[in-house]
């Protein structure tokens, strides 16, 4: 997978976007890593009255001349954010028409592109069974190829224990963690979110489901086989079972959304049938994951 996965026009549009780091800055105490390119890009934001301990270099003396009060200039600090993408590589992701895995990879690549394009640092983590395979930390546009290469040739297999796998991640500091998965996973989902929050990660859950999962078109008496475990269940697909499925699915999505909200994160349901443009330019902008 290389740059060719994105159309030039699409790339142009992507370039105009950035991952929303507002939450990071809003929470921001000033001690995080400063941008290496800060000299030209300091952007005035606001005034406030001087308080003891403020840097005297930031006092606006002109204002003092006019009002005889000490005001401190506030500047929007640009930061270099750490973006972690967790991609579920279980067998269940490699299913659906179109496959959820394809969209998952495209989504990871697009978000990676956005991160690198905005001079953020990027790490892609593939969740496989109980383990995790992470890319090197990438920075700068030039490393998108490495990102794309890492995303190429992923094997989707087995059952992912998302909780165990994510907890293997060692975070250097706060950042943005995006989890791309169908969340058909073993282990409690809430635990890994607590873990992420503990490491001061902004959480974004990208819930990828296939159209077959969102609206099954099955009929009659079926013996459903789990692609991951091979387990089988006999189901008579009566209207009442369909109703219950839809109810269960909605509950599942709602619980994930609630959990994300609870831990200060965001949640988006994505159909593998959706175009990348729709996801990026509509769904993710609507949920303010991208601005």
Partner 1 sequence: MGFNNLYALGLLPLLGLIILMYMLKQQHEEMEISSLYLWKKVLAQSEVKKPWQKLKNNILMLMQLMAAFLIIMALSNPFLTRGKALGGNIVIVIDRSGSMNAYHEGSTRLDIAKSMAKKAIGESDNTSVFTLISIDKTANVEFSGVTDKYQAIRAVEGLEKTNMSGSVKEHLSLIKAVYRQFESANVLIYTDEEVALEDMSGEVIALGGYGSNVGIGHISYSQDSEGYTALVRVENTSQEPEKRELALYGEDKLLELMDVELAPGESSSILFENIDRGYKYLWAELTEEDALQEDNRAFLVPESTEPKSVLLFSEKNIFLEKALSSIEGLEVYKTDDVDITAEGYDLYIFDGITPTKLPDDGSLFFINPDEDNPYFKPGETIEGGRADVISHDLSKNIDGFSFYIGKMRTLEKPYWADALIQVGKNTVAGAGIYGGKKIAYTAFDIHDSDFPLDASFPIFMYNMAAYLTDMEEQGKSYYFSGETIPLNFVSHIQEAVMENPDGNETSISEELLDYGYDNTNSIGIYKLSYKKDENAGERVFAVNFPREEGINAFQGQWEGEREAGDGRGYSIMGTNLQVPIIIFVVLLLAAEWMVYIRGN
Interaction of residue 100 with partner 1, rule CB under 8 A: yes
Interaction of residue 227 with partner 1, rule CB under 8 A: yes
**Shortest reach from residue 196's CB to partner 1, in Å:** 22
Encoded one letter per residue, x for contact with partner 1 by CB under 8 A and - for no contact, window 66-95 reads -------------------------xxx-x
**Shortest reach from residue 255's CB to partner 1, in Å:** 11
206: closest CA among 127, 74, 103?
103
Q: Which residues of 70-91 are buried (b: 16+ CB within 10 A; e: fewer)?
A: ebbbeeebbbbbbbbbbbbbbb
Largest CA distance in the chain: 84
Rg, the chain, Cα only:
22
CA atoms of 185 and 256, how far apart (whole Å):
12
Per the listing, tokens 């990027």 go with 122
Encoded one letter per residue, x for contact with partner 1 by CB under 8 A and - for no contact, window 177-206 reads -----x-xx---------------------
Binding-site member from 41, 45, 229, 275 for partner 1 (CB under 8 A): 229
Interaction of residue 104 with partner 1, rule CB under 8 A: no
From residue 27, alpha-carbon distances to 31, 115, 129, 287 in Å are 11, 20, 34, 19
Interaction of residue 163 with partner 1, rule CB under 8 A: no
Helices 100-117 and 144-151 pack at an angle, to 10 degrees, of 160
**Shortest reach from residue 125's CB to partner 1, in Å:** 21
Interaction of residue 252 with partner 1, rule CB under 8 A: yes
Determine contact, residues 259/189, Cβ cutoff 8 Å. yes
The residue range among 27-35, 173-181, 214-222, 280-288 that interacts with partner 1, by the rule CB under 8 A, is 214-222
Contacting residues toward partner 1, per CB under 8 A: 91-93, 95-96, 100, 182, 184-185, 210, 212-213, 218, 220-229, 231-236, 238, 241, 244-245, 248-249, 252
């Amino acid at each position: 997978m290389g740059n060719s996965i994105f159309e030039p026009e699409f790339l142009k549009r992507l370039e105009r976007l950035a991952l929303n780091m507002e939450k990071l800055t809003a929470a921001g105490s000033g001690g995080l890593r400063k941008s290496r390119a800060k000299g030209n890009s300091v952007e005035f934001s606001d005034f406030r009255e001087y308080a003891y301990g403020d840097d005297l270099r930031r006092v606006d003396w002109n204002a003092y001349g006019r009002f005889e009060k000490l005001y401190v200039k506030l500047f929007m600090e640009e930061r270099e954010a750490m973006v972690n993408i967790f991609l579920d590589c279980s067998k269940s992701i490699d299913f659906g028409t179109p496959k959820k895995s394809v969209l998952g990879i495209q989504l990871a690549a697009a978000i990676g592109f956005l991160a690198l394009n905005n001079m953020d640092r990027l790490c892609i983590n593939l969740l496989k069974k109980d383990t995790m395979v992470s890319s090197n930390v990438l920075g700068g546009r030039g490393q998108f190829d490495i990102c794309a290469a890492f995303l190429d040739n992923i094997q989707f297999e087995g059952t992912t224990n998302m909780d165990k796998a994510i907890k293997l991640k060692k975070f250097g500091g706060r950042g943005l963690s995006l989890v791309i998965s169908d969340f058909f996973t073993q282990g409690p989902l809430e635990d890994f979110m607590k873990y992420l929050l503990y490491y001061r990660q902004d959480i974004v859950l990208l819930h990828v489901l296939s159209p077959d999962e969102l609206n099954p078109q099955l009929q009659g008496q079926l013996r459903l086989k789990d692609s991951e475990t091979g387990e089988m269940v006999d189901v008579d697909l009566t209207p009442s079972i369909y109703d219950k499925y839809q109810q269960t699915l909605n509950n599942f999505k709602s619980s994930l959304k609630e959990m994300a909200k609870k831990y200060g994160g965001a949640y988006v349901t994505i159909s593998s049938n959706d175009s990348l443009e729709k996801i990026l330019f509509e769904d993710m902008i609507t949920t303010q994951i991208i601005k």
